[in-house]
Amino acid sequence: MCNVDLFYPAKLKLPDGNRSKISERIELTMSKTIYLIPGVGANDKVFKNLDLGDYEIVHLKWPKHKKNETIQAYVKKLLPQIKPDTQPILIGLSFGGIVAIELAKLINPFKVVLISSIKTHHERPLKLMFLNSLKFHRLLPGKLVVQFRFWLNWLLGKLSSEEWELVELMIREANIEFNEWAVDQVIHWHNEEVPDNLVHIHGTGDRIFPSFYVRKAIWIKGGSHFMVVNRAKEISKIILKEIAGGKEVKLSQKRQLRKAS
């Protein structure tokens, strides 16, 4: 929420009702900035096919993590990248969606958009807990995965030669230690709080977060976990429509109680 005191001196006393109305007017005239948050093993290149109109775009960069750091502590490091004079729109892909939800607990975004992600731990597939028990993601370094194309084809869906080049490029640029930490965060993430202004875009063919577990989403028929690249046109239209129809967010009762405590 925009702080009216930034615009009016402290000595100027305004009735609470007027202060609230002024705050709403300021928010309505503020510009909106889209913050793109990639998933595990990906970077800002994964969003290259999205067409988000004339909105200002900021690609959030991953700060250095600590080995045993929680995701709740980590997302606080992202706050300096959020501009104070715009209404933020958080768009998170896969693990980036989880980050977007945790970040939304610290700020008041205009809209939160998840792509190929999950809203709560109830949408996390049971197979991730099984893989965690085997420590599979630690046994097979990310840079070796690209050598097993059948495995990636199964996870991401059938890829064109251009899409393969993008995947291989992102894997070469990946921070393996960060990826392992991020996968651990997904596996152990516990969340039941969903922002009121959230939009969830999900593919019916997603094999990492199967549609069977996901509730209340805008569905992309046949969309894979990689649909942000190969179904970007459809996703872009949905995002622009949702942003245009967005309303100023009110905190849920749970959030209000938490803030009051």
Is the pLDDT confidence value at 253 over 50? Answer: no
- For position 183, what pLDDT does the model report? 86
- Compute the half-sphere exposure of residue 56: CA atoms within 13 Å on the CB side of its CA: 12
- For position 246, what pLDDT does the model report? 53
- For position 116, what pLDDT does the model report? 96
Across the chain, what does the average pLDDT equal?
Answer: 79
Is the pLDDT confidence value at 88 over 90? Answer: yes
**More confident site: 156 or 42:** 42
- For position 72, what pLDDT does the model report? 97
Residue 80's pLDDT band (cuts 50, 70, 90)? very high
Pick the most confident of 30-44, 148-162, 216-230: 216-230
- For position 174, what pLDDT does the model report? 81
**More confident site: 66 or 153:** 66
Per-residue pLDDT tens digits for 37-66: 999 888 899 999 999 999 999 999 999 999
Give DSSP secondary structure letters for the chain. ---GGGTS-TTS---HHHHHHHHHHHHHHS-EEEEEE--TT--GGGGTT---TTSEEEEPPPPPPPTT--HHHHGGGGGGGS-TTSEEEEEEETHHHHHHHHHHTTS--SEEEEES--SSGGGS-HHHHHHHHHTHHHHS-HHHHTT-HHHHHHHH----HHHHHHHHHHHHT--HHHHHHHHHHHHH-------TTEEEEEETT-SSS-GGG--S-EEETT--TTHHHHTHHHHHHHHHHHHHT-------HHHHHHHH-
Q: Which CATH superfamily is domain 31-248 in?
A: Alpha/Beta hydrolase fold, catalytic domain (3.40.50.1820)
Q: Is the dihedral of CA 198, 202, 208, 210 positive or negative?
A: positive
The whole-angstrom separation of Cα 2 and Cα 254 is 21
Q: Is the dihedral of CA 162, 163, 166, 168 positive or negative?
A: negative
Is the pLDDT confidence value at 171 over 60? Answer: yes
Structure tokens at 6: 């930034």
Residue 57: beta bridge partners? Answer: 34
Q: List the domain boundaries for the chain.
A: 31-248
Is the pLDDT confidence value at 170 over 70? Answer: yes
